[in-house]
Protein backbone atom coordinates (compact mmCIF):
# COMPACT_ATOMS: atom_id res chain seq x y z
CA UNK A 1 0.00 0.00 0.00
CA UNK A 2 1.37 3.41 -0.90
CA UNK A 3 1.83 6.15 1.66
CA UNK A 4 -0.98 8.04 0.00
CA UNK A 5 -3.41 5.14 0.42
CA UNK A 6 -2.45 4.88 4.08
CA UNK A 7 -3.14 8.57 4.48
CA UNK A 8 -6.68 8.15 3.19
CA UNK A 9 -7.50 5.79 6.04
CA UNK A 10 -6.41 8.11 8.84
CA UNK A 11 -9.36 9.89 10.43
CA UNK A 12 -9.14 13.61 9.83
CA UNK A 13 -9.84 16.22 12.44
CA UNK A 14 -13.00 18.14 11.55
CA UNK A 15 -14.10 21.25 13.42
CA UNK A 16 -17.55 22.71 12.93
CA UNK A 17 -17.53 26.37 13.99
CA UNK A 18 -20.88 27.77 15.17
CA UNK A 19 -21.15 31.55 15.57
CA UNK A 20 -24.85 32.27 15.03
CA UNK A 21 -27.89 32.12 17.31
CA UNK A 22 -30.54 29.52 16.39
CA UNK A 23 -33.91 30.21 14.61
CA UNK A 24 -33.18 33.73 13.20
CA UNK A 25 -31.17 32.15 10.37
CA UNK A 26 -30.80 28.59 9.12
CA UNK A 27 -27.07 28.30 9.96
CA UNK A 28 -27.41 26.51 13.32
CA UNK A 29 -29.78 23.84 12.00
CA UNK A 30 -27.72 23.34 8.83
CA UNK A 31 -24.57 22.91 10.92
CA UNK A 32 -26.23 20.28 13.08
CA UNK A 33 -27.42 18.39 10.01
CA UNK A 34 -23.95 18.43 8.44
CA UNK A 35 -22.43 17.25 11.73
CA UNK A 36 -24.83 14.29 11.82
CA UNK A 37 -24.09 13.41 8.19
CA UNK A 38 -20.35 13.77 8.81
CA UNK A 39 -20.54 11.54 11.87
CA UNK A 40 -21.32 8.60 9.59
CA UNK A 41 -17.83 8.89 8.09
CA UNK A 42 -16.06 8.14 11.39
CA UNK A 43 -13.86 11.21 11.44
CA UNK A 44 -12.49 12.95 14.54
CA UNK A 45 -15.26 15.54 14.98
CA UNK A 46 -15.32 18.55 17.30
CA UNK A 47 -17.82 21.40 17.54
CA UNK A 48 -16.94 24.97 18.51
CA UNK A 49 -19.50 27.42 19.88
CA UNK A 50 -18.46 31.05 20.06
CA UNK A 51 -19.98 34.51 19.68
CA UNK A 52 -23.78 34.14 19.26
CA UNK A 53 -23.25 30.41 18.60
CA UNK A 54 -23.32 29.84 22.37
CA UNK A 55 -27.07 30.55 22.26
CA UNK A 56 -27.53 27.27 20.34
CA UNK A 57 -26.82 25.35 23.54
CA UNK A 58 -28.96 27.38 25.92
CA UNK A 59 -31.32 25.36 28.08
CA UNK A 60 -35.10 25.68 27.89
CA UNK A 61 -35.58 26.51 24.20
CA UNK A 62 -39.35 26.61 23.52
CA UNK A 63 -40.32 27.20 19.91
CA UNK A 64 -44.05 26.47 19.87
CA UNK A 65 -44.80 30.20 19.73
CA UNK A 66 -42.73 30.78 16.57
CA UNK A 67 -43.94 27.67 14.74
CA UNK A 68 -40.47 26.25 14.20
CA UNK A 69 -39.04 22.88 15.15
CA UNK A 70 -37.04 22.98 18.38
CA UNK A 71 -33.88 21.19 17.29
CA UNK A 72 -32.00 21.71 20.56
CA UNK A 73 -32.67 18.14 21.87
CA UNK A 74 -30.56 16.88 18.95
CA UNK A 75 -27.40 18.26 20.60
CA UNK A 76 -28.00 15.84 23.47
CA UNK A 77 -28.05 12.93 21.01
CA UNK A 78 -24.64 13.75 19.52
CA UNK A 79 -22.89 11.46 22.00
CA UNK A 80 -24.64 8.48 20.38
CA UNK A 81 -22.88 9.44 17.14
CA UNK A 82 -19.51 9.66 18.91
CA UNK A 83 -19.53 13.44 18.72
CA UNK A 84 -18.37 14.15 22.25
CA UNK A 85 -16.29 17.33 22.05
CA UNK A 86 -18.39 20.49 22.24
CA UNK A 87 -16.04 23.41 22.93
CA UNK A 88 -17.76 26.55 24.24
CA UNK A 89 -15.84 29.81 24.47
CA UNK A 90 -15.78 31.30 27.95
CA UNK A 91 -15.47 34.93 26.81
CA UNK A 92 -18.46 34.53 24.48
CA UNK A 93 -20.56 33.26 27.40
CA UNK A 94 -19.40 36.08 29.68
CA UNK A 95 -20.05 38.79 27.08
CA UNK A 96 -23.65 37.56 26.98
CA UNK A 97 -24.12 37.30 30.74
CA UNK A 98 -24.18 33.49 30.55
CA UNK A 99 -22.45 30.70 32.43
CA UNK A 100 -22.23 26.98 31.76
CA UNK A 101 -25.22 26.58 34.11
CA UNK A 102 -27.39 28.30 31.50
CA UNK A 103 -26.54 25.60 28.93
CA UNK A 104 -28.20 22.23 28.37
CA UNK A 105 -26.58 19.35 30.22
CA UNK A 106 -25.03 17.29 27.41
CA UNK A 107 -23.29 14.02 28.25
CA UNK A 108 -21.82 11.00 26.47
CA UNK A 109 -21.04 7.47 27.61
CA UNK A 110 -17.27 6.86 27.51
CA UNK A 111 -16.73 3.40 26.03
CA UNK A 112 -13.10 3.47 27.19
CA UNK A 113 -14.13 4.06 30.81
CA UNK A 114 -16.85 1.48 31.55
CA UNK A 115 -19.49 3.61 29.76
CA UNK A 116 -19.28 6.27 32.43
CA UNK A 117 -21.35 9.36 31.66
CA UNK A 118 -19.15 12.39 31.03
CA UNK A 119 -19.93 15.98 30.05
CA UNK A 120 -19.56 16.77 26.34
CA UNK A 121 -19.44 20.54 26.87
CA UNK A 122 -15.96 21.86 27.58
CA UNK A 123 -15.65 25.55 28.35
CA UNK A 124 -12.40 26.94 26.95
CA UNK A 125 -10.78 30.36 26.82
CA UNK A 126 -10.52 32.37 23.60
CA UNK A 127 -6.83 31.52 23.48
CA UNK A 128 -7.55 27.80 23.88
CA UNK A 129 -10.21 28.07 21.17
CA UNK A 130 -7.62 29.55 18.80
CA UNK A 131 -5.32 26.59 19.58
CA UNK A 132 -8.16 24.11 18.92
CA UNK A 133 -8.91 25.79 15.58
CA UNK A 134 -5.23 25.64 14.61
CA UNK A 135 -5.10 21.90 15.40
CA UNK A 136 -7.64 20.83 12.72
CA UNK A 137 -7.36 19.35 9.25
CA UNK A 138 -10.69 20.78 8.12
CA UNK A 139 -12.66 23.73 9.51
CA UNK A 140 -16.29 24.18 8.44
CA UNK A 141 -17.99 27.44 9.40
CA UNK A 142 -21.64 28.12 10.05
Residue 83 neighbours by CB under 8 Å, 6+ apart:
35, 39, 45, 47, 120
Please tell me whether residue 90 binds other proteins under the rule CB under 8 A.
Answer: no
Site string for other proteins, 48-87 (x = CB under 8 A): --xxx-----------------------------------
CA–CA distances in Å: residue 78 to residues 1, 90, 96, 108:
34, 21, 25, 8
- Closest distance of CB 79 from other proteins, Å: 26
Give the other-Cβ count within 10 Å of 89's Cβ: 24
Nearer to other proteins, 106 or 128 (CB): 128
- Rounded Cα distance between 127 and 21, Å, is 22
Query: Which run of H or of E encompasses 38?
Result: helix 27-39
Nearer to other proteins, 45 or 108 (CB): 45
- Rounded Cα distance between 32 and 24, Å, is 15
- Closest distance of CB 50 from other proteins, Å: 7
Number of residues that bind other proteins (CB under 8 A): 18
Tell which positions 13-42 bind other proteins, by CB under 8 A.
Answer: 17, 19, 27
Name the site residues for other proteins (rule: CB under 8 A): 17, 19, 27, 50-52, 126, 129-131, 133-134, 136-139, 141-142
Amino acid sequence: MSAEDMDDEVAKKFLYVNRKAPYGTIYALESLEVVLIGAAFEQDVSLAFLDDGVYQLIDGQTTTGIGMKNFSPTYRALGDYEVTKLYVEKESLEERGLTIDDLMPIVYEDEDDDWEEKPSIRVVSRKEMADIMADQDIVLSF
